């Protein structure tokens, strides 16, 4: 079988948007179907802040593949060993948070790619080939080319090193963690602050210079999103199961109260 | 979104064979991918003899839909309520065992089809539409036409009633439970016994007369399986995860134990 295509990577390579559906609460294999029904390209399984087990995360990855929805997982900053187990069991992209230096970005890129590009170990039935893989050398080269490696910049040090991080071969996306970035700058949550905008622009310039993709995460209001997209942000998580449910249920309850009030007054 | 196509029903409709991958042990979402990788058309989730919860069953059904492998569930003879829950959550076919009379077959067909054809209740997000259904009337008509209703004949009474059972509208496949049938006939396990051949002949003729499909279960040896396929069996279970694992593992231990250099055996 041919490798499952990484819809997010291909959309980004064409200069398009990759829209992600964040997962925090859901464990059902219906999740990728729901993401697709909502017009997304990938699911963003958050193991940094969500309580997913490895088994739960990889079941969602395997379920996403035949839908053409790219399974992308955020691991904890130090959990590169979890990242490669995810890649072994269906993930097509990994987000590593809190990458502050080019040396760390290089370690990440090395860990996720098979030799000669990196040092990833081969093992286990290859889910991304639907368990019918070609010769191991061919499979390793194809997987190296198909996965997405995303590093998060979310500290002043990371911003200062953005250009060097962007230069690392094998890093595809510079993803800005806007919440942690503004927190570490002493202006938590102030996404319209000039220093926030300046930091975003520095990272955007670094990405553009090295032909990498920019993602500005953590933001949700229209003005911030428009500014980020104007700066070139293309890897975008539209929200997650939590925000979709909370916002949807608030709107439904409000609408019902208004309907009742309009009938009973 | 369009309704997920029932590839097994399509194959049977054009007279082709449809091969089933039995599931007893596996709970991983990789199961339908494994079934596809090994050339199967449908997955037989056995809740008559397996210990699946409805949640486990339907997670496998939902995972199968985008792979093109048809999720088919066998329920216990009296568990028609579990069958409709499976259909509500991704199953595209149900196998009901121990159907002895046309009246029983009629009750089953009624339970699995929406009005006006039957009395199935509408509810829950429609997995078989990828959660984006058309109008309810259109969806109900399309689902009625897409599902497979499979009744198992596995007693002398059922074989005697084969013609009347085959005549029931909404029944698609008459599936011979050969193992239980031989037990009921007092010739347990004799898959090539003249009484079994006579049963395949009778049920095959009933199917041909009423435009239904003949199914074969419980026959795994090549001589008898060849005979019954020759007599028209098209809906065929090739084995189960249990039998595949046992055969594969036996084969490997036999190889190593058979090596001249193998010590201590």
pLDDT (tens, 9 = 90+) of chain B, 265 residues, equals 899 999 999 999 999 999 999 999 999 999 999 999 999 999 999 999 999 999 999 999 999 999 999 999 999 999 999 999 999 999 999 999 999 999 999 999 999 999 999 999 998 889 999 999 999 999 999 999 999 999 999 999 999 999 999 999 999 999 999 999 999 999 999 999 999 999 999 999 999 999 999 999 999 999 999 999 999 999 999 999 999 999 999 999 999 889 988 776 5
- Residue ranges and CATH numbers for the domains of chain B are 7-250 (3.20.20.60)
The Cβ of residue B240 has, within 10 Å, a number of other Cβ atoms equal to 21
CB contact under 8 A, B33 and A33: no
Q: Which residues contact A111 (CB under 8 A, 6 or more apart)?
A: A80, A83, A84, A118, A119, A120
CB contact under 8 A, A62 and B65: no
Distance, in Å, from the CA atom of B228 to the CA atom of B205, rounded to the nearest integer, reads 13
Q: Which residues contact B143 (CB under 8 A, 6 or more apart)?
A: B3, B114, B126, B128
How many residue contacts between A and B have a Cβ separation below 8 Å? 49
Distance, in Å, from the CA atom of B247 to the CA atom of B239, rounded to the nearest integer, reads 10
Task: Check if B65 contacts A (Cβ < 8 Å).
Answer: yes
pLDDT digits (tens, 9 = 90+) for B173-228: 999 999 999 999 999 999 999 999 999 999 999 999 999 999 999 999 999 999 99
Q: Looking at the annotation, which residues of B are catalytic?
A: 49
Q: Which residues contact A125 (CB under 8 A, 6 or more apart)?
A: A131, B30
* B62 contact residues in A (CB cutoff 8 A): 28-30, 33, 63
**A149: its two tokens:** 């490696």
Q: Measuring CA to CA, which residue among B79, B83, B38 is closest to residue B61?
A: B83
Q: Which residues contact A112 (CB under 8 A, 6 or more apart)?
A: A83, A84, A87, A94, A118, A120, A147, A149, A170
Q: Looking at the annotation, which residues of A are catalytic?
A: 49
pLDDT digits (tens, 9 = 90+) for A163-203: 999 999 999 999 999 999 999 999 999 999 999 999 999 99
Residue reference for tokens 């088994």 = A55
Burial class, A77, CB count within 10 angstroms (exposed 0-12 / middle 13-18 / buried 19+)? middle
Distance, in Å, from the CA atom of B220 to the CA atom of B243, rounded to the nearest integer, reads 10
Distance, in Å, from the CA atom of A235 to the CA atom of B177, rounded to the nearest integer, reads 53
Whether A200 and A216 have beta carbons less than 8 Å apart is answered as yes
**What pLDDT, on the 0 to 100 scale, is given for residue B265?**
57
Q: What is the dihedral of CA B113, B114, B115, B119, to 10 degrees?
A: 70
Distance, in Å, from the CA atom of B179 to the CA atom of B97, rounded to the nearest integer, reads 12
**What pLDDT, on the 0 to 100 scale, is given for residue B264?**
65
* B125 contact residues in A (CB cutoff 8 A): 30
Of residues A30, A33, A66, nearest to B67 (C-beta): A66
Whether A45 and A60 have beta carbons less than 8 Å apart is answered as yes
**A133: its two tokens:** 């893989």
Task: Check if B63 contacts A (Cβ < 8 Å).
Answer: yes
Q: Are strands B148-153 and B173-177 parallel, antiparallel or unpaired?
A: parallel
Burial class, A235, CB count within 10 angstroms (exposed 0-12 / middle 13-18 / buried 19+)? buried
CB contact under 8 A, A29 and B37: no
**B162-B168-B174 Cα angle (round to 5):** 45
Instruction: Kindly identify which residue of chain B lies nearest to residue A68, measuring between CA atoms.
Output: B66
Q: Measuring CA to CA, which residue among B5, B41, B96 is closest to residue B237?
A: B41
CB contact under 8 A, B33 and A30: no
Instruction: Kindly identify which residue of chain B lies nearest to residue A27, measuring between CA atoms.
Output: B59
Strand partners, A188: none
Of residues B34, B63, B132, nearest to A29 (C-beta): B63
**What pLDDT, on the 0 to 100 scale, is given for residue B124?**
81
- Residue ranges and CATH numbers for the domains of chain A are 7-264 (3.20.20.60)
pTM of the model as a whole? 0.91
Q: Which residues contact A152 (CB under 8 A, 6 or more apart)?
A: A95, A96, A97, A98, A99, A158, A175, A176, A177, A217
Burial class, B160, CB count within 10 angstroms (exposed 0-12 / middle 13-18 / buried 19+)? middle
**What pLDDT, on the 0 to 100 scale, is given for residue B87?**
97
Q: Measuring CA to CA, which residue among B237, B170, B164 is closest to residue B203?
A: B164
Distance, in Å, from the CA atom of A12 to the CA atom of B255, rounded to the nearest integer, reads 49
């Amino acid at each position: 079988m041919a490798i499952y295509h990484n819809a997010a990577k291909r959309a980004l390579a064409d200069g398009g948007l990759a829209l992600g559906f964040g997962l925090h609460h859901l464990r059902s294999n219906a999740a990728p179907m729901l993401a697709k029904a909502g017009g997304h390209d990938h699911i963003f399984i958050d193991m940094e802040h969500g309580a997913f087990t490895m088994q739960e995360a990889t079941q969602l990855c395997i379920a996403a593949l035949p839908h053409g929805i790219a399974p992308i997982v955020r691991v904890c900053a130090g959990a590169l060993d979890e990242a490669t187990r995810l890649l072994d069991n269906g993930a097509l992209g990994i987000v590593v948070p809190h990458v502050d230096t080019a040396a760390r970005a290089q370690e990440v890129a090395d860990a996720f790619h098979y030799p000669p590009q990196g040092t990833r170990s081969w093992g286990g039935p290859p889910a991304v080939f639907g368990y019918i893989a070609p010769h191991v050398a061919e499979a390793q080269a194809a997987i190296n080319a198909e996965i997405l490696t995303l590093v998060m910049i979310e500290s002043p040090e990371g911003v200062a090193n953005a250009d060097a991080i962007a230069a690392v071969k094998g890093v595809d996306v510079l993803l800005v963690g806007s919440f942690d970035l503004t927190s570490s700058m002493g202006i938590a949550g102030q996404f319209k602050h000039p220093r926030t905008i300046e930091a975003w622009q520095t990272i955007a310039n670094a990405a553009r210079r090295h032909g990498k993709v920019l993602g500005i995460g953590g933001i949700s209001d229209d003005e911030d999103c428009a500014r980020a997209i104007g700066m070139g942000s293309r890897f975008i998580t539209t929200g997650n199961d939590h925000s979709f449910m909370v916002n949807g249920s608030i709107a439904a309850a409000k609408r019902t109260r208004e309907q009742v009030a309009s009938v009973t007054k | 979104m369009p309704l997920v196509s029932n590839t097994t029903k399509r194959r049977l409709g054009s007279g082709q064979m449809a091969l089933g991958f039995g599931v007893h042990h596996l709970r991983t979402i990789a199961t339908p991918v494994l079934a596809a990788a090994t050339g199967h058309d449908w997955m037989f989730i056995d809740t008559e003899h397996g210990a699946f919860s409805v949640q486990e069953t339907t997670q496998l059904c939902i995972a199968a839909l985008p792979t093109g492998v048809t999720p088919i569930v066998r329920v216990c003879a009296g568990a028609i309520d579990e069958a409709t829950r499976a259909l509500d959550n991704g199953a595209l076919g149900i196998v009901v065992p121990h159907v002895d009379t046309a009246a029983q077959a009629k009750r089953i067909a009624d339970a699995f089809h929406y009005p006006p054809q039957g009395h199935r209740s509408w509810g829950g997000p429609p997995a078989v539409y990828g959660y984006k259904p058309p109008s309810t009337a259109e969806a109900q008509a399309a689902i009625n036409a897409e599902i497979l209703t499979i009744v198992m004949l596995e007693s002398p009474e059922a074989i005697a009633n084969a013609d009347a059972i085959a005549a029931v509208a909404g029944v698609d496949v008459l599936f011979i439970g050969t193992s239980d049938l031989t037990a009921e006939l007092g010739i347990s396990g004799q898959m090539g016994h003249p009484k079994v051949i006579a049963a395949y002949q009778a049920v095959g003729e009933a199917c041909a007369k009423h435009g239904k499909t003949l199914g074969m279960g419980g026959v795994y040896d090549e001589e008898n399986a060849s005979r019954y396929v020759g007599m028209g069996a098209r809906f065929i279970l090739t084995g189960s995860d249990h039998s595949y694992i046992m055969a594969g593992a036996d084969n490997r231990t036999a190889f190593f134990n058979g090596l001249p250099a193998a010590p201590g055996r």
